[in-house]
Structure 1
Amino acid sequence: MQLFDMFGEPPQFTVHEMMMVLRSGVFLKYAAAVVLLLVAFDTHGYREAGMPLQVNILIWMVCVAAFVSVYAAVLLGWLALAPGGRRIRLLRLVPNATAMAVVTFLVLALASGFADLEFSRRVLLQHLPYNIALSYIFETLMFVFILPQADAALGLDLYRRKRPGCEPPVEPRPAPVVPEQPVQPLRGAAEGLNGTAVVVGGQKFALEQLRYVKSEEHYLRVSAGDSELTLRGRLADLLAQMPQDAGLQPHRSWWVARDAVAGLRRGGQSDVLLLADGTEVPVARGRRAHVREVMQAWQAGEG
């Protein structure tokens, strides 16, 4: 799913990635900060109308939680109505306005029971434009500042598929201390692996179909054939099934198949493993020597 973002690169994410962001510490701290700001500024004058502080905090917590829930439900509903396999693009105003309409009704109904406030259609229509504008400000802060931090913390790479025309200008990078070596392509598959099967998240895959597997908390992103799946599982369980020469683990969160590797780009500070489909896999600093040794052995074997 792709959500249009007026501030640059639009994020694209799966349902699982969206849930990971909503459960992340970065987002939960942001949600708590929103609640504290709403309480501190006494939005709509609830405490001035006689609402106890504890009730005011609870109502705004319900407000934020309900807004996030309805917002996510609109995205999921929009995704469910789309033909399978197609990317869905959705203006941010659609889930925002829908969620805030529901939340405004809910909060006014709750607030009228704890303060001297009128709950009517007239009051609802008075509050709704202000609430939508306020929520749009918080949502914009979320997209500009919080989402990139959550993306980096979780390693999701939500901006990996950039929309044409939205790419930021590429700034020249300083030359590395150690010159990069040209990519050395690898040919053919490791012998003796055809017919081998591995089990990931309860699903069986032919080993020759796997390109790479990336660990994301309690889930694995599996690239196999022409598809990419997200399954619950542990990378350690997958590695225990792998033949020794089937691939390598350049990073604690990655396993890549030998057949998928196109070459290694060396750098002064870090190496990057290049896959045939264009994916770039980071090489952990502590595994650089091992990866380089394996790459040399594979290339020698291809000769």
Structure 2
Amino acid sequence: MIGDIKNISFLARLVGVIRVVSNLLGTELRFWDLLGERMSFSLRVYLRALAHNRTILFTFLCMIAFIAADPSSARAFVPVWFAVGFWPVLFAFYLTVMILCLFGVAALARAIPNLRVPIPVIGFVALIPTVVLCESCLHYASNGTLVPDFVGKLFIFFFMVQGLETIYFRFILPDIRKELAAEEPSRHLVIGGEKVELTKLLHIEAREHHVHMTFEDAKSRARARLSDIVAQTQDTDGMQPHRSWWIARDPAIRVERKNGRVVLRLRDDTEVPVARTRVDEVLSWLQTHVHPAE
């Protein structure tokens, strides 16, 4: 009996951890790149992009560049075979620390909805343990003849890595994201026990114990709670500007002011109120997902 209770407790904690990780993976992260341009992506998208053939090719070319450039000045102290095997391992370590940092940013983003972080800062933080590992391993591999230079190498690595990451985030990742989006099957929400195709849904309004759904070519009503529906969505699907409303992401959304209050005008001319406490969050979401160039 006690063993069964412990197993149930363990499974409950495991489910809780999985739910937290899933929420963090789906959280939209907002950044500035090295040149001050805004960008955003979720960890789930980022991890999928890392496994893309174009990312693998780009990484391979970066490894060749690092081996040839020898930024640690280790060529005269360690054998070539060591350098060839060392850089991929070092990159894997840097990428692991980078992903952990992004998980930290995702946790902060859930607490601070308008958070936007300069991605070079995250790269710099991830480089600190990477450079320490690099210099320490090279010092050991060279039998102590290569003296570590942690600070000097940190800045050399920083500018090299930031240059390559800027190329990746600006010119490679956007195309990969388009390909990944095209490959995704149609997603559905479960509302009132029925499956609803997410891509056709424009907005949902909660009235008492029912939700009123508006689609591209139809309307429907179901007995359900709006909070349960919103829990099935991600930041990139839409957002909740008011406790009684959920709206889908749509380039036709426009911000207006009516009687001193902020409202959203949707493509079907529906006016959706924005709660006073959510105005900044809504405007930030619109700027990131709907009108990034404005």
What is the TM-score when the length of structure 1 is the normalising length? 0.52
1:25 aligned onto 2:53: yes
RMSD: 3.6
Residue number among 202, 206, 210 corresponding to 2:192 in the alignment: 206
1:143 aligned onto 2:169: yes
Unaligned runs of 5+ in 2: 1-28, 206-212, 219-246, 252-294
Q: Partner of 1:10 in structure 2? A: 38
Residue number among 142, 155, 158 corresponding to 1:132 in the alignment: 158
Q: Partner of 1:107 in structure 2? A: 134
Percent of pairs with identical residues: 18
Q: Which amino acid aligns with 1:114?
A: A
Task: Supply the distance in 2 between the matched residues of 1:278 and 1:76 (Cα, whole angstroms).
Answer: 24
Task: Supply the distance in 2 between the matched residues of 1:87 and 1:146 (Cα, whole angstroms).
Answer: 26
Structure 1 position 56, deviation (Å): 0.6
Q: Secondary structure at the match of 1:73?
A: helix
Task: Supply the distance in 1 between the matched residues of 2:166 and 2:122 (Cα, whole angstroms).
Answer: 13
How has the CA–CA distance of structure 1 residues 11 and 114 changed in structure 2, closer, same or farther, with 3 Å as cutoff?
Answer: same
- Map 1:255-294; keep pairs closer than 5 Å: 259-262=214-217, 277=248, 279=250
Unaligned runs of 5+ in 1: 158-198, 215-221, 227-257, 264-275, 281-303
What is the TM-score when the length of structure 2 is the normalising length? 0.53
Task: Supply the distance in 1 between the matched residues of 2:30 and 2:52 (Cα, whole angstroms).
Answer: 20
Contact 2:190 2:196 in 1 (8 A): no
Q: Partner of 2:180 in structure 1? A: 154
Q: Partner of 1:293 in structure 2? A: none
Q: Partner of 1:68 in structure 2? A: 95
Aligned residues, how many?
A: 185
Task: Supply the distance in 2 between the matched residues of 1:224 and 1:54 (Cα, whole angstroms).
Answer: 59
Task: Supply the distance in 1 between the matched residues of 2:122 and 2:136 (Cα, whole angstroms).
Answer: 21
Contact 1:79 1:88 in 2 (8 A): no
How has the CA–CA distance of structure 1 residues 79 and 54 changed in structure 2, closer, same or farther, with 3 Å as cutoff?
Answer: same
How has the CA–CA distance of structure 1 residues 124 and 54 changed in structure 2, closer, same or farther, with 3 Å as cutoff?
Answer: same
Task: Supply the distance in 2 between the matched residues of 1:82 and 1:14 (Cα, whole angstroms).
Answer: 11
- Map 1:86-235; keep pairs closer than 5 Å: 86-117=113-144, 123-155=149-181, 204-206=190-192, 210-212=196-198
Task: Supply the distance in 2 between the matched residues of 1:47 and 1:146 (Cα, whole angstroms).
Answer: 31
Contact 2:74 2:146 in 1 (8 A): no
